[in-house]
Amino acid sequence: MTYTSGRILGSMCTSSHPLARRVYCDFLESNLGDPGLFRGTRELESGVIGMLGELLSEPDAAGHIITGGTEANLMAMRAARNMAGAEKPEIIVPKSAHFSFRKAADILGLRLREAELDQDYRVDVESVRKLISENTVAVVGVAGTTELGRIDPVEELSEICLDEDIHLHIDAAFGGFIIPFLRETGAELPEFDFKLQGVSSITVDPHKMGLAPIPSGCILFRDASYLDAMSIETPYLTEKQQSTIVGTRTGASAAATWAIMKHMGREGYRKLALRVMGVTRRLRDGLVELDYQLVVEPELNIVAFNHPAMGPHELADRLEELGWAVSVSSCPPAIRVVLMPHIMEEHIELLLRDLEGIRLR
Ligand code: PLP
């Protein structure tokens, strides 16, 4: 499968920009695990952290470019655990959280407590409140859930975490590169970033809506003390302390991400955000015309829907037979289409034609 075919409908990755690919290749040998040898690459990494910090309302944020959302969430949970020093550490995540938190809990020895969702598939704040105990080291909110693109009530989570002095981590792996730009164009989407004083860390993935080549994830902390809380001495390298999980790690991701962010600028990402939301609306309207049932009104560029009579797995099989790669969400079960930049309006017209054929059969 290729992204450019427009047939990949269920992925959060997309075709990377040709400029980013070229830069990536130029930096293949650079190693950010030993940054004294690759000072320019380290500067590019700091440049990306600075640009993302500014975008997310904390220009002095500290962090790293790593492999993606999974590693970023793992680092955030590790920092929260180390800073809290609880004897039996627990984390509270929404039921809609990405499965990477299960991995983090397993690796870090954390008990995972799952908070309920409200009827709009956002985390239920009262359920979070009830799960808080003296062992809670982190609460997680999601800005752009993997299955439905929902944005949790981060403002309320921030208030709770400030009151209780608990680390609030926001998983904006998907939403981080679209919500701020849609807000800049006037969309009424909730606050989710460091402007809210309770937010301690944010995951944002340039390899999703940022157009950077895989792998490029970013973990941002409000300040460098969170990195210090997990730093390990590295006696024989050019830096004396290391906070990342991986040792030797490519600098190509940082360089390519820097290049694409400079190239696009906020204006470029704003235009992209508006374009994908236009395609999202076209799919939404076409589905309603064909009497397919929407799970929720799309807030971001994800549409989840069901056939009125056929189960989602059967519908997914039918679509696969017609050459579409779709995915099925679990909560609730539905066909889930992520309108990534590689999906153009003409692809959606073809998809709607096939969905009409399935309805008429
Ligand atoms: N967090 C969210 C909200 C995601 O949607 C994803 C992936 O889709 C991840 C984390 C994990 O990202 P990755 O697959 O880049 O590790």
CB 217 within 8 A of CB 177: no
Over the stretch 302-331, which tens digit does the pLDDT of each residue have?
999 999 999 999 999 999 999 999 999 999
Residue 359 has a pLDDT of 93
From residue 93, how far is each of 29, 88, 257 by CA, in Å?
Answer: 38, 16, 29
| CA atoms of 94 and 349, how far apart (whole Å) | 35
CA-based nearest residue to 177, from 216, 217, 208, 154: 208
Candidate of 103, 142, 170, 174 to mutate for ligand 1, largest count of ligand atoms within 8 Å of Cβ:
174
Residue 280 has a pLDDT of 98
Provide mean pLDDT across the span 292-302: 98
Query: What number of residues does the chain have?
Result: 361
| CA atoms of 171 and 75, how far apart (whole Å) | 12
Residue 236 has a pLDDT of 81
Alpha carbon of 204 to ligand 1 centroid (Å)? 9
Candidate of 14, 95, 98, 152 to mutate for ligand 1, largest count of ligand atoms within 8 Å of Cβ:
98
DSSP string, 36-59: GG-HHHHHHHHHHHHHHHHHTT-T
CA-based nearest residue to 193, from 204, 205, 182: 204
Residue 269 has a pLDDT of 98
* Whether pLDDT at 13 is above 90: yes
| CA atoms of 248 and 260, how far apart (whole Å) | 23
Atom of ligand 1 nearest to the CA of 71: 16
| CA atoms of 6 and 120, how far apart (whole Å) | 29
3-state secondary structure labels for all residues of 175-225: HHHCHHHHHHCCCCCCCCCCCCCCEEEEEECCCCCCCCCCCCEEEEECCCH
| CA atoms of 221 and 169, how far apart (whole Å) | 9
Atom of ligand 1 nearest to the CA of 70: 16
- pLDDT bucket at 235, cuts 50 / 70 / 90: confident
Mean pLDDT estimate for the chain:
97
- Cα angle for residues 314, 315, 316 (degrees, 5° grid): 90
| CA atoms of 143 and 152, how far apart (whole Å) | 6
Quote the DSSP letter at residue 14: -
| CA atoms of 13 and 347, how far apart (whole Å) | 17
- pLDDT bucket at 237, cuts 50 / 70 / 90: confident
Atom of ligand 1 nearest to the CA of 205: 15
Atom 15 (ligand 1) nearest CA: 68
Over the stretch 96-131, which tens digit does the pLDDT of each residue have?
999 999 999 999 999 999 999 999 999 999 999 999
Contact residues of ligand 1, CB 6 A cut-off:
12, 68-70, 73, 98, 100, 142, 146, 171, 173-174, 205, 217
| CA atoms of 84 and 100, how far apart (whole Å) | 21
DSSP string, 108-169: HT-EEEEEPB-TTSSB-HHHHHHH--TTEEEEEEEBS-TTT--B--HHHHHHHHHHHT-EEE
| CA atoms of 303 and 336, how far apart (whole Å) | 6
Over the stretch 162-220, which tens digit does the pLDDT of each residue have?
999 999 999 999 999 999 999 999 999 999 999 999 999 999 999 999 999 999 999 99
Query: Would you call the peptide bond into 18 cis, given omega within 30 degrees of 0 as the criterion?
Result: no
| CA atoms of 36 and 96, how far apart (whole Å) | 40
- Helix-helix angle 345-360:312-321, to 10 degrees: 120
Quote the DSSP letter at residue 66: E
Alpha carbon of 160 to ligand 1 centroid (Å)? 25
Candidate of 8, 11, 12 to mutate for ligand 1, largest count of ligand atoms within 8 Å of Cβ:
12
